[in-house]
Structure 1
Amino acid sequence: MLRKLESLMPNVNLKYRLLLYFLVLVILPTSIISVTIYNESYQTITNNINAAVQKNLTMTEIVINKKFDQMGDLANAIYLNPDMVDILSADPPSDQIGFVNELADLNKILDSYAKPNGSDAQFVPKLYMLNRPEYFQYNFSRSVSTISEIETKPWYADLPPKARYSVIGLQENHTSGGTGYTIKLAKRLFGLKNVAIPYVGLLTIDADINDFNGMLDQLKPSVHSSVFIIDNQANVIVSPDLSLVSRSMAESPYIEKLMNTPSNVGSFGEHIGGRAELVSFRRIESLGWTVVSISPSSDLNGKLISFRRAMYAVLAACMALAFGIALVLSNNITNPIRKFIKSMSYAQEGNFDIQIQYARKDEFTYLFSQYNKMIMQIKELINKLYVSEVKKKEAELKALQSQINPHFLYNTLDSINWIALRHDVPDISHMVTSLSDFFRYSLSKGRSIILIEEELRQVESYLSIQKFRFKDRLDYSLQVEPEVYGHYTVKLILQPLVENAIIHGIEKRPGRGCIDIRARLNEAWIHVEIADDGIGADVRALNAMLDDKSGTHRSFGTVNVNQRLKQLFGSEAGIRYYAREGQGLVVAVTIPAVTTWEEEQDHANDDHRR
């Protein structure tokens, strides 16, 4: 990315480039981290909000079921009242006085549970008796009536024959004070002491809808939230907003989406009236009802909005701080460079009396100190230039004459190769080609670090030349795993070992000899084995020679290779000798699998080691 930025502004001042680089290096990670934290926090807060809303809906379901259980317990208490059991198990009265007395007794029982004027009045019971048409003539009670009053109601026909109780739902009551709503529960009654009377009446318990509305109002997630309950036809049963009660919500898009969701619980975002809302729901399967909560996202996301503002403030502060630090750093770097450039311009004009004054103690101190020394030396050299010019030219001429130009050497070898081919002497051509490759790989354009395949080709060229010398007395093979290619090594580590194997092993044995070279990659290390079937040697003595640091050993080439490897790659790298099965020796070379190399650092390390 920095290269791309650099290509876009080739003419921009170094100071501003450094400033931009510092800002990118600081702001980019900070932005990525901030966005990541925000996204994670947003997800966490959203999940917590949904969990909190669903918890409120669960509490609503629990409270509603508890309310109905209380109504059911009241119905059971009335049903199991001894006086009520006696009346329900008896035959209908036979005269006017009997009906009046029965009606008075039932009204008394129900009034004792209703307590309409007491502080604990919550539910209103009412009894509908079967086969009591006379109640219409003598009915002086609002709590007792005949079953014919409700026989035509749709909900009555849908009552199950046997159930602990049945929730009827929303009921509209018309009174002199206006229209009110209650939630009704019904329970079939039977003659417990007279099996001949299977069904005697129906007991209903009515609860004021305001009791349910109060519960919903207390459990809503936020101040501006709205919570209501709908039935399986999308009609509103309970709502603190009484204008919604008994209305159909089927045409509302979010209600339609909610009704089509197979899950019993859920939440989704929706725009209602141009405002983002969180719609949450929970179905009460036992009742066929659904509790719906609609909350403004702005109310629920208060923590998220505060966190976002805090994150923006911190990010802006970090950017301002990063800009200030980047400006200071870029000035600290570029000011000495500008001073250095100014001094160089004076030197370019021939003024070598200018010295750079620098008070800090950092890398520039050493640079300017050396630069000042160099300027003084240049001044001295210029003064001596005229005197030493002739001697220098003579020395240069001698140096040039004493050197062999690699290009001249390659051209000469190519000419010999051409003459050999012209005179049909392929052996000479092959040998000259191998020699040319050997020199080319040995020189390696001055590089001390080369690819391992180049090192192997140099060894193969060397073996090819030795093959001409020993004729049929020398065979060789190279087996290299493809994974080995592409890794770097220090040059001229294998050829000295192969040369030792030929001189001290193959050359001293009678008959044909063979050198096998195998290279393989094992995890983070490359292992190269050079095996010969020569006369062999004392493996312990050879390894002791490698471990000896006194410098009294005779095999300088082998020890030099081992020391170079350890100095460059560490103590785990190096060479070891092993006895070959049958006859001969195996020298194992171990180097790390390195696929990249900074050439400048290599040269610096090489100079340090020398």
Structure 2
Amino acid sequence: MTLKRRIMIIFLFSSLIPFVSIVLISYFTIYSILTNKIQNGIQSNLKQVELSLENSINNLNHVSQQFAVGGSVGNKLSEMLSAEEPFERAKTLSDLKEELGLITFTNPSIGLAMYYFMNDRHYELENTGVKDSFAPEKLPLLAQYSQISYYGPHVSNSRFDNQYVLSAMRKVDLPNLDGVYIYMETGFKLTQNILNNDAVGGMASHVFVDNDGRIAYSDAPDSFQVGTKFPHFDQAKSSGTEQGYYWFKETSNQGWSIVSLTSKADYNREMNRWFVQIGLFSLLFLGMSLLLGWLLWKMVYRPLRGFHREIEQMADSRIGSPAARTHIPEFDLLVRRFQQMKHQIWELFREVEAKEKRRADLEVEKLLYQINPHFLMNSLDTVRWIAVMNGQDEIDRLVSSLNKLLHYNLGKLGQTSTIQEEIDAVKQYLILQQIRYDFQFDVHIHVDQEVLNVPIPRFILQPLVENALYHGLDDDGYIQVDVRQSDQIEISIRDNGAGIPEDKIEALLSAEGGNRSAGMGIGMSYVNRIIGMHYGERAKLGVSSRLGEGTTIKLSLPNEGGADHD
């Protein structure tokens, strides 16, 4: 995984883990707070509604008592109904209306009030007009006791009022008449204001349930119809879910209940609003984290790319231009020190290269001039003429070939030769070796005509051929020399000798390796160094060998054409 990805992942995890933890903790905390807030708000609102209704019902109970027997109004009603004289009856009726007016005036919450005669279904002494549709048996019963029934909420039966009200019917005990009731209504507006001020912004519906669990009033008639049994009423639960609603119930001391119904969508609206806010905040936080991660990557990764570029230039043997400043003191200091180190390394490379080249030149020069060529050649000429004079043809041929070989091999340092001259020198060398050894071996040499005049460094083929002779060649042995032209000059020298162990091949090519005791004392390491001096990496020398099967040496040289040479 790249450093960029690691930085981004580590930064995201280090940022997101605390954030996610905070979000989860906040979620459960806020969920609990909001749930308790909503539920407590709803229960508190229901409690206020219950108290308001109880006060209204108690007020109806108190006022209705004044209209019943035992009160002044009830007594006058009894006198009016029992009066036989019209004058006396009219006077009593006038006094009764005045008394009723005084009671309703001192109780402004009381609306319609009248006496209702159940047997013949008519009413008297009403304080306002009554709707023709008035029928007590059709009113929604809320609670019922021995002498009084409470109804509502329902639309007022007053001809001039269409507001919701609570009503009560109380039986009036008369000595000579049965089925007389006092009917009165009280306003429901205060209670409605309380209901609309719920914890969910007035979005709740409400249901009134009577003592027997039947629905007396419903704001949600599609799901909770008036006259039906409210679900779970017999259970002790004060809250629950039903038909897509959360419901909360408050039961009064009088036995009736008020139930708040809130749809799940409205109930969760505040929670969802918080979820949206925390989601937007999370996206903002994630974007900031990514931005900070990108800035962190930019501060760290870009300088590292500069280091990488410097290292690549160094690996490609290029000095390169000065690196741009990162404006980070620590990185700028490291870049400067790295560039200083790079320049020092290249200076050391050049110094070592120059010293190595000079050392190689001195070593080759030492090898080529360790014998006094003039003395040696003059001595060999003398030996040759003595052999001719004495008829020693073999010695004559030996000395002649040796003299030619030494004359070629001991040429001046730095001179170049051609492939033709190198092949001729190898032939002279092989003549000497065939005379020297007591076994016979074949030599096959093939050279493409196109490469005969190609210039190559002096004295690079003979050490390769010499290696074939000194590594296990015996009777029936052969040496195959091929010089062919392709994209490069390909030279191969094969033999069928004993082969060379793998661990000795590298030693032959190293500066300390080679066969110093054989022939001219110049091994394959000389060839490796001399082609490196002339061609660099364009030339290659390789050795492959199998024990008991032979050795193949391959030399690849760049084809530099048939230029003239010294």
TM-score w.r.t. the length of structure 1 is 0.44
**Rg bigger for which structure?**
2
TM-score w.r.t. the length of structure 2 is 0.46
